Amino acid sequence: MKSLSITLALCLFGGASIASAHGGGVDGQGGHNNRRAGNYHFHRGPLDGRTYDSKEDAAKALSANSPGVANEAATDSNRSTERPLFDLAPYRPYQPSDAQVIAHKAYTFQYNEAHEQAAWVLYRITAEQLQASVSRTDDFRRDRAVTTGSATLADYRRSGYDRGHLAPAAAMAWSQEVMSESFYLSNMSPQDPGFNRGIWRQLEARVRDWADLHGEVFVVTGPVLESELPTIGPSGVSVPAYYYKVVVDLRPPGVEGIGFILPNGSAGQSIGRYAVSIDSVEAFTGIDFFPVVADSVEEEIEGNILGEHWGFELREVPTLKQSESWGKIKAK
């Protein structure tokens, strides 16, 4: 994939605000038109996370909420009352849903109550963060920020599955507080032990290496949630068949991205065999990643993989049809 121009990258990611710098970005109302879905979605303000059929409908809803903005902002069930250490809101993925979006200190996620786990988790890793290292807390616990109730320890007990991190603990080792928050059960998903301790762990380590090498990366990861998945525990936590991970380097002068789709089982192949374009992950999950990025840039980073940028030899990176995940993508 060819690098993008310095001018374009600086327009997107330099200066005061990413939100005001792109064609499909956040406007004065705090939202933007989603061209793919044909609707309007809020990323800021009292209606953060909500979707409307048109910008006009969104403006009416915003106007109706204006008298109670201060009060609603404090009580809205779709928002966390915590103050994140870094504002991830402009980088959130988009998926048509009224599900609760929660921002903890170092990661943000959307909780899928039907499956009792996050549909996606967004976090940022920097080279500076990786210089610190606090001990694992291993304080697995329910997440009281989930208004409908998160999964519990009883759901995983004697299930045969690991409580697999989505936002990994090793990426949160720069603060005892954020390390502890990574052990909320809302940040867990039932993973095959061989998968969690094998290729998933290897991929998490590779992402940290990329952050260290490039200075900063943004990551969106989660389970592929479908109907009729097997479940565990009293809460009925779904056991996904696949997981995805999208990694983006937004630094100028070039913007690069890569995606992965991996089966929830012991995998003997190299990580590169599961690499796909971000477009492929979108087709597989129904999630629009980094929708506030300018359309031209989004098309560039989502449709291609630059193997050298991510440390893969070109022969290691498969075409979509060669990917281990191609059969499932094609079936959808």
State residue 83 phi and psi, 5-degree precision: -105, 110
Tokens standing for residue 109: 């996620």
Residues annotated as catalytic are 165
Strands (E), the chain: 31-34, 39-42, 51-52, 101-103, 107-112, 117-126, 162-165, 188-191, 216-223, 231-232, 237-238, 242-249, 256-263, 275-276
Tokens standing for residue 304: 């291609």
State which amino acid sits at residue 201.
R
d(C-alpha 186, C-alpha 140), whole Å: 10
d(C-alpha 176, C-alpha 121), whole Å: 20
d(C-alpha 88, C-alpha 86), whole Å: 6
Closest to 243 measured CA to CA, from 287, 205, 206, 208? 287
Bridge partner residues of 263 (DSSP): 242
d(C-alpha 114, C-alpha 97), whole Å: 12
